[in-house]
A and B are shown apart, each in its own frame.
Chain A
Amino acid sequence: MKNLRLLFASLLAFAVIAAACSGSDSASGDDGDTSVTTAAEPEAIPTPTNESSDDDGGDDGEDEPVQEVRQGGTLVVANQTAASASLIGNTGSGTGIGYPSAQLFASPLLFDENYQPQPYLADSWSFADDGLSLTLNLNPDAVFHDGVPVKSSDVAFSIRMNQALHPFKPMFAPVESVDTPDDNTAVLNLSAPHPALLIAMSPALLPIVPEHVYGEAFEGASAEDNYASFRGFAGMTDPDVLVGSGPFSLTEFDSSTGLVRMAAFEDFFLGRANVDEIVIQIIQDPNTTLVALEAEEVHIANLQGVADLERANGIDLLTVTPQGGEGIGAVVSMQYNLEDEVLQDKNVRKALAYAIDTDFIVNTLHAGLPFRAKSPIHPGSPFYDDSVEGYDLDLAKAGELLDAAGYEADGDGNRGLTLTMDYIPTAQDYQKNLAEYIKSALGEIGVEIEIRASPDFPTYLGYLAPRNYDLTMQILFMWADPVIGVHRSFQEANIVPVPFANNSAYINPEVEAILDEAGQTIDVAARTALYAEAQAALADDLPFYWIETLPTNTVYNTAKVQNPPLTIWGAMSPMHEVWIAE
């Protein structure tokens, strides 16, 4: 008995010490010879021109012998955000809902890693010459999980549902009606040309739901209370009621843990999925996610934190890639409140930008994980223009601009200028740490920053929405097309006391006109040119100082996960082609 107790005590001591050592091992071993892709070189930016277009199933280009596709197994995907009250992407945005929705429901189109549309439920599609209608030709083989064929009327219903419930109003706002000349043809009639319509038909954004299951509950709900009765409809989460159109059908949803379990749908029109089952598991702590990946309990996860990604790079088992999820298009910036007397002066805004060393931020502070972003458009997007003014570090110029604006330095270099700085409290590396760096950087040119730390997200929103701030660190999401997530920040009508609207109170009718036109130009070259013009003007007006992307890296088990989901939507795309190797 005595010996047993001693043994137990020493075992405990050993365990803790050994764990401590092994922890530091994995953290420092990041130069292991794994097939790691980091974003260190700017050439790695996945753009349509330099992205390899091998169709070898998304492997990383190494000449490995082609393995035979293995059927079966359970794919476990970890996510940090849980779905709450719905698993249908027509009712809300975010990965919590997008991950399950993209497996449970098919959408008219898919998008590849180059933002190019690919057939999905729609075999083919075409805009009319005047751009005022879009015709979708649906795959006649597609059926819902209850065996009923997917018809054009279901597409029309899904768009109506989306228009009513989805928070991204610009996606389908121009759609006035949907004609259904036959079961396999849907014609979307538009009030104005709307090129963003294609990307709005991605799996995460427009899941096609069966009208025969959801129609009645939807028609019985009212806009007055935000369709509360329909949002509470059992078909949103209940495996016995929910009927989808995607490669997997719902078998379990545990709202308490956020766990979603889905089984391969035998009659999926593109062929039964390779894996038998997909489980989406919610793990909030990135440390735990890493342990679960290392223990091979989880196959795929997404991580953002600098230390987490560096640790993942050090685990031989794992591949870390910046691909697979850039579609959400998160750009980190410093936002100016243009209603502030000091910041109304464009030269002061530019002076602050010149004092910030973005090269240091991207490559040192964030270890080369993000991409530099000089505009609100995500650098992966075909519309991003890298040639706009980026305000590279230039303290002399910053000083001159401040002198000219009337804020001359006294003997101690102090300019008598004090500004407050807020940040989103949920993103440590890309908000809090950045705010602290910028405070010290602006201190160099004699501008004093008072950081106002919000204890939680709602508190932060309480400052942002009514524009009760001077400067704030910001992260805005583009959602693949500027019309969805970029225009909102620069429209005069959008200066409302609501978070993530036009909270800079930025007004420039010319820029707004260019953006409006770009949003209605179908021709890609012409549209790109318009966005280039808008980005140049915005970089000069500088309502935000854009800094970098928020990394949306995919981390997966290299040996096990074959055909990993690495398009712009990552795991928010159907994963019927993914398979698990032995």
Chain B
Amino acid sequence: MSQAGRSNSSSIRRVTLAVARRAAHTAFLLVAVITLIYSLLHLAPGDAAVALAAADGSDSPEYIEALRADYGLDKPFPVQVATYIGNIARGNFGDSFFFRQPVSELVAARLWPTILLVGTALSLALVGGVLLGVYSARRPTKASSHIVTILALFGFSAPIFWTGIMLLLLFSARLGWLPSNGMESVVDRGTGFSAAWDTMKHLVLPASTLGFFYMAQYARISRATMLEVLGSDYVRTARAKGLSERVVIWKHALRNAVIPVVTIAGFQIAAILSGGILVETVFEWPGMGRLAFEAVLRRDTPVLMGMLVVSTLIVIGANILTDIMYRVIDPRIRISKVV
């Protein structure tokens, strides 16, 4: 009992240490990312004041100068970067040039829809992908297994925006079952449960579009690893012990087969976040990807920087979560090893 307690507390200490080391890395990484991106934006042709004036339809040099003064763009570049990093350190992300609104509010408004979309899509992709993979690995020569393989190939090779538009045409335009865009109905949304139901209906198409793409990949990977695992000695041993097929598959084989899927999913968080832009565009989903993309087009530096800082944090958080998942799936893997 006390043995177990000690080993528990030492493992907690290891985890804490690992997380602390991660946090230090993160802070360093953030400063580097901010300086780099800020410089890149500065090097990009065209400047924010001119772009904003043009969007307003102004052809007056005085207007552009006034905009520059308003946004502090008339200061030397190093001063701008230093001011920005200083502000971030104090938790102040500044105001958007375009929206004239605190960046923190804009990011906060987009964060929940992003988490909802990416979280749902990723869960769908992981659960669906692994189930399909296991299913087809168990009967690799059956027709149904081939169908899964073909579907996976199709899902993987169809461009996200194309899938999105096709689903839209069918389920919104033709059948009228699901709403075509946004996260909330603009008419008759209701409150409480009906509002939640409304958001769920809006979520179905974008989450499926994004989810199917990754589900296809995970199905292929888990099928391949499952096939390999099913041929290994310990599975044969388990079967020889007389364990039921269900226990063999779900308890013994799957634990090992699923690790590569988790690894890839962890790596892909960043890609899914950015892949979200296409889905967000097709379905007008108010997520972070599109706001960041538009910020680039508007040279809205404060918004873009805010987005990058938050996305960096999300990716780092997701990686930590992946590490914890490893340990849950396979207790032999210790956090310190993967960190």
B182 within 8 A of A: yes
Query: Which chain A residue shows the least CB distance to B183?
Result: A257
Query: Which chain A residues lie closer than 8 Å to B296 at the CB level?
Result: 456
A255 — nearest CB in chain B belongs to which residue? B99
In residues 226-281 of chain A, which contact B (Cβ within 8 Å)?
A: 226, 228, 231-232, 254-257, 259, 261, 279, 281
- Residue of B131, B167, B299 near A19 (CB, 8 A) is B167
Interchain CB contact (< 8 A) of B181 among A85, A168, A283: A283
Cβ of A285 and Cβ of B284 under 8 Å apart? yes
Task: Given the known inter-chain contacts A23-B169, A283-B284, please indicate yes or no for A461 contacting B50, CB distance below 8 A.
Answer: yes
* Minimum CB distance partner of A252 in chain B: B186
Q: Would you call A94 and B180 a contact (CB within 8 A)?
A: no
B286 within 8 A of A: yes
Interface residues in B27-45 by Cβ distance below 8 A to A read 44-45
Which single residue of chain A is at the shortest CB-CB distance from B64?
A: A498
Query: For A84, what are the chain B residues with a Cβ–Cβ distance below 8 Å?
Result: 98-100
Give the interface size bracket for B toward A. Answer: 35 or more
List, in ascending order, chain A residues with CB within 8 A of B166's CB. 15-16, 19-20, 23
Q: Which residues of chain A from 125 to 165 have any CB-CB distance to chain B below 8 Å in the complex?
A: none
Q: Are A76 and B173 in contact (CB under 8 A)?
A: no
Which residues of A1-20 have CB atoms within 8 Å of chain B's CB atoms?
A: 2, 5-6, 9-10, 12-13, 15-16, 18-20
In the complex the two chains form, what is the Cα distance from A84 to B56 in whole Å? 11
Interface size class of A (residues with CB under 8 A): 35 or more
Q: How far is the CB of A116 from chain B (nearest CB, A)?
A: 24
| Chain A residues whose CB sits within 8 angstroms of the CB of B167 once the complex forms | 15-16, 19
Q: With both chains docked as a complex, state the minimum distance between the C-beta of A478 and any C-beta of chain B, in angstroms.
A: 11
Whole-angstrom distance from the CB of A335 to the nearest CB of chain B? 14
Beyond A256-B110, A257-B182, A288-B168, whether A74 also contacts B64 by CB under 8 A is: no
Within 8 A of B (CB), among A463-490: 463, 465, 477, 479, 488
Q: Mark B269-293, 1 if CB is under 8 A from A, else 0.
A: 0000000000001111010000100
Q: Is A282 an interface residue (CB 8 A)?
A: yes
A498 CA / B52 CA spacing, docked (Å): 12
Give residues 82-113 of B contacting A (CB, 8 Å).
98-101, 106, 109-110
- A224-B69, A288-B283, A500-B54 in contact; A256/B109 too (CB < 8 A)? yes
| 14 CB < 8 A contacts A-B | A9-B132, A10-B147, A16-B163, A20-B166, A23-B165, A26-B169, A85-B99, A85-B101, A167-B60, A256-B291, A283-B284, A288-B181, A458-B46, A458-B299
* Top 3 closest pairs, chain A to chain B, by CB: A458-B46, A167-B58, A226-B66
Residues of A within 8 A of B (CB): 2, 5-6, 9-10, 12-13, 15-16, 18-20, 22-23, 26, 74, 76, 84-85, 92-94, 167-169, 223-226, 228, 231-232, 254-257, 259, 261, 279, 281-285, 287-288, 290-292, 294-295, 297, 456-463, 465, 477, 479, 488, 494, 496-501
